[in-house]
Amino acid sequence: MNLFEYTRAETLDAAMSAATEDGAILAGGTNLLDLMKIGVVNPTRLIDITRLPLHDIEEHDGGLRIGAMVRNADLARHPVILSRFPAVAEALLSGASAQLRNAASTGGNIMQQTRCSYFQDPLSPCNRREPGSGCAAIGGETRNHAVLGWTEACIATHPSDLCVALAAYDAVVEITGPDGLREVPMESFHPLPDANGTGPAPLQSGEIITHIRLPDSGGMARNARYVKLRERTSFAFAIVSAAAALEIQDGRIVQARLALGGVAARPWRARTAEKALADQSPTEEAFARAADLALEGAAPSGDNRAKITLARRIAIRALTRAAAGTPDRLPALPASVFEGDCNG
């Protein structure tokens, strides 16, 4: 690990002043410190924001406004999250061990880096680490890489479970910087790769995520689920995942939300599929058609064609579970594809 300067910010203005291009924001540190230890990132300054007043969860216009320093464990167990945004809770509880959830912050979860093994190997060329150096993943081991929105410059996927559920719920990221406040929809916060690399950075120099805003979930509150396929049920990143929410009245779908994870460099909001579900009965046939639309344009980035099939099946399963209704208590294995087998 390289030598670095440590600064504890007591105010938001102080944090923004210190957050230059060669600095890094330290919240929970569950991703940043790991990357520093293996030499993937080498900031010359860490700006500790753990004392900033960003730890509150407040009701806001029927929804929630979540401080960037709210711990994942606290967010997952918040009563409003459980009652109105259950897919968020299910995503969080499937995302890491209890110890990591106690340390990880909401803002840090959004800003975590890809788990692409080539990105995490400083000896491999990677356009995310060094623009223009190439992408070692192309032609390499690609089982967990992108099938949507990728280019020859980068085929990495975004690892967050939380972001997939937030995108499905139309969450908005509030960012404060030298030019004031700006807001970015969660579904477009993470850039897709361009022809040269990873696209524009989500945050500019001096900018800090302060809050995540969840709008009112309306009639979808009790018909929402998150489903995740992973190599092991405990503490593993998604091969593919899906967050689904439905508003059902008189046996018809009034509105639908669907976002996929593990398939692209951002949570993949399937808006065409959502439109196709409107005014349909919540049947397997309707969900299968929606899944086909959600994966329209998908293409393997290597030896991962099976991922397209898996993503389609996970989308159908998430929609089916959402239609069946959110359980009063979260399952013992949140978001697991084996939930039904384990719960009898």
What residues pair up with 246 in beta bridges, in sequence order?
256
Q: For residue 341, is pLDDT > 60?
A: no
Residue ranges of the alpha helices (H) in 227-279? 271-277
β-pairing verdict for 238-249 and 45-48: unpaired
Each residue's pLDDT tens digit, 103-137: 999 999 999 999 999 999 999 999 999 999 999 99
Closest CA to 85 of 167, 165, 188, 185: 165
Measured CA distances, 16 to 48, 95, 175, 178, 180 (Å): 11, 29, 11, 7, 11
Domain limits of the chain? 5-48, 220-343
Q: What is the mean pLDDT of residues 288-309?
A: 98
**What percent of the chain stands above pLDDT 70?**
98
220-343: CATH, from 3.40.50.300, 3.40.50.1980, 3.30.390.50, 3.40.50.970: 3.30.390.50
**What percent of the chain stands above pLDDT 90?**
86
Q: What is the mean pLDDT of residues 318-322?
A: 98
pTM confidence score: 0.95
5-48: CATH, from 3.10.20, 3.90.1720, 3.40.1130, 3.30.43: 3.30.43
